Amino acid sequence: MPAPSSSRARRIVVRLAWIAVLAALLSLGWALHSGSIRIPEPFNPWAPLDVAAEPNLLTGFKLRHARRDPARCLAALAGTGLAYETVPDRSTGPGCGFQNAVRLRSGRSMSLSSPTVLSCGAALSFAMWERHALQPAAVLRLGMPVVTLEHLGSYACRDINTGEGQARTSGRRSRHATADALDVAGFVREDRRRITVRRDWEDGDAEALFLRDAHAGACRFFDGVLGPDYNAVHADHFHLEVGGWGLCR
């Protein structure tokens, strides 16, 4: 029998190498899944999301995984320190309604201007934002935390408002229609001074820097974040949503 050509031999070696790598990865994955190999939870992609843990490269993956699973989401939400109660699923029209939602009454360290209904996934992202971005930005830029978040609402059965007269005719439901979005208009500092998106976004002072940091921080934990730089519709608020296309403007 003639000896295999060098090119054929190389192909065989490469194929065997890939099989070995695949087998090793499968073995490692099974070992991690079965618990025979233990790695610290912050670095274990299959470990539940720990809202209190300092975010790392796996936090986004864990957050998305938790938001997709109703039971996992509620379990993670229970450890956030938010004040809320679950609400019954609801359908109010084509493309409108919510499932696995909560009535959020306050954050972990701040009140809300009024209770509001959010999907569990949006509430979980809100908890991550408050703890790891919003309040750290307040302490850094203002020298104190914020004690109240002022909002313009969450659930509303409506289409996307583009600011171009298409809100009623586009047929594209807003993430508000599924309680996956919250519009944030401003904050109250610990010294009772108000900060509003409309008035303070462009001022260039500590309040403006805080708002810029709060907006940028939201992009780490929400799928879509829109503010005054996006269009005139958002001149007075931040739109924070989960479940849509990734956008930070």
| Range among 49-53, 104-108, 204-208, 243-247 rated most confident | 104-108
Comparing C-alpha atoms, which of 9, 97, 76, 117 is closest to residue 221? 76
Would the pLDDT of 116 be above 70? yes
How far apart are alpha carbons 101 and 85 in whole angstroms?
9
Question: pLDDT at position 26, please?
Answer: 77
Would the pLDDT of 221 be above 60? yes
DSSP 133: I
Q: What is the mean pLDDT of the chain?
A: 89
Q: pLDDT tens for residues 29-50?
A: 676 666 676 667 676 777 889 9
168 confidence band (pLDDT: 50, 70, 90): very low
Q: pLDDT tens for residues 197-210?
A: 999 999 889 999 99
167 confidence band (pLDDT: 50, 70, 90): very low
Cβ pair 235, 198 in contact under 8 A:
yes
